[in-house]
Amino acid sequence: MATIHNPVLRGFNPDPSIVRVGEDYYLATSTFEYHPAVRLHHSRDLANWTVVGHALDDGFDLQGIPDSGGVWAPSLSHTDGTFWLAYSIVRTMDGDDKDIDNYLVTADSIEGPWSEPIHLGSRGFDFSFFHDTDGTHWIVGVQWDQRPEHASFSGLVLEQYLPDERRTSGEATVIYREDVLVEGPNLYRIGDEYVLTIASGGTGWNHSITTARSANLTGPYERDPWPAMLTSRDAPGTPLQKAGHGELVQTPGGEWMLAHLASRPTLHLGERYCTLGRETSLQAVVFEDGWLRLRDGGHHGEIDVEIPGVEREVGDAPSDQGASWTDTFADGIDSRRWSTLRVAPDPAVFDTSTSSLRLRGGHSTASVFEQSLLLTRVQEHHATFEAVIDAEPRTTREAAGIVAWYDRQGWIWMQLSWDETAGRSIRVIVREPGRTTRSDAVSVPDGALRLRAELHGPALTFAWATETGEWMPLPGEYPAWMLSDDFGPRLRFTGMFFGVRAEDLDGRGWGAGIRSASLSQTQV
């Protein structure tokens, strides 16, 4: 019997889409504005997961995409020996307007190569595929209404996909409506009925999953009489908050499992902040009187879940997870561990030809185009990130260092730069929406420096040292709690990263050497 310890995918890994092929489980998660896009995971026992790659990598370009736009809610399925992956690209989301394009890519192997994308239209978002037993293929998703005098949500719609013609039918049927927005729809054929799983309540504290069912594919669909089969909105103290947006998978032994997103908050002045973002968990579920229920009762997700008939496998921790790791970049940039913003790392900017990383400075932190920023997910509330940086800034427009990053309006940067008074110096810069603050500059000697950021729940501290010297703490604590979906009035959907960045605002080719980077984390 395998025991799952949730979350199974820790840190920013939202909107899980899961499928089983034989003895293997595959799971895709959203990546939003980060590159490479659509993170793909593999497991044999549902407890141990490895990142096997990404569906959208070389040549995939999200330049100009807004924060928390980009790739939303991938849908992974498998039929007739082929993997199908549907995904949305949200290009703008201003007020009532959303510019969205939906696509399909396919592959014979989860590791690719993936096909060129087929456009599925721009009707809405959260599109998923359903392959019926009669051999037909359907997409179900959220239909958006941009008219300000109308409700933005105009129903869940069903449309046939015609694979021989590589297009949708163009005729969509509304199969389900509520007075409020519901999202993340997925269709299943369970016995003689069609079952529709639905995320409702938004993706925040009121998030939940419910179901509806019908004897006919196009409805009408009867909603579950329970308000939610999974939610944490009535239990603010339960460990897995924001539980919702899920998909079903069946084990070879017939057990049903639900993959869903959830978040683990940290507290600051009594308020909850999910700095790690939305993560992926698994719950055991059953059908009772035709309705989906948690196997062990209630409607709150559990941290530890047992799966009868599944044996836990023992293997090495995946390349992007585990308690600690150090990267010297001798083998280049491992995309299973590192992410960049919007575009793939250009070798002319992220140069690893000398078995270390030479990072040429890029645009400012406000740019949606070319930032020299290399990031790794933070997966635990207690973590330490370090990097050895060799840089000689000579103006205030040249800077490098380590950063705790959420988005362009939320970051904390320990910056090595030049100051008219202090010379070569270090300071901490904090960016929040509409406001930037800077600590006093601290003079540092020439030569490579070790920089360190330590995360203690809602707070960050920083220190520096020469290569052989003792650590010199910088005064004060910094607001890690601000780097979360829950801070500020804007829609935010990602999570905290640690990373390294370099900035050359004069565009003269200045850069920094990154000799190594390391991350250690304490799992609870």
Q: Which residues form the catalytic set?
A: 15, 183
Token pair recorded at residue 483? 């780097």
Bridge partner list, 141: 157
Output b/e per residue, 87-120; b: 16+ Cβ within 10 A: bbbbbebeeeebebebbbbbbeebebebbebbeb
Query: Pick from 197, 191, 249: which is nearest to 224 by CA?
Result: 197
Q: Is 482 helix (H, G, I), strand (E, B) or coil?
A: helix
CA distance 83 to 342: 25
Token couple for 511: 């850069």
Judged on CB neighbours under 10 Å (0-12, 13-18, 19+), 258 is buried
Which residue reads 């801070």 in tokens? 487
Tally Cβ neighbours within 10 Å of residue 236.
10
List Cβ neighbours of 218 (8 Å cut-off, separation of 6 or more): 158, 173, 175
Residue with tokens 């491992």: 334
CA distances from 344 to 34, 216, 317 (A): 9, 44, 25
What is the distance between the alpha carbons of residues 484 and 241, in angstroms, rounded to a whole number? 14
The DSSP element (H or E) to which 167 belongs, if any, is strand 167-176
Which pair of structure tokens corresponds to residue 159? 């449309």
What token pair was written down for 247? Answer: 């998909």
**Which residues neighbour 63 within 8 Å (Cβ) at sequence distance 6 or greater?**
342, 343, 368, 369, 370
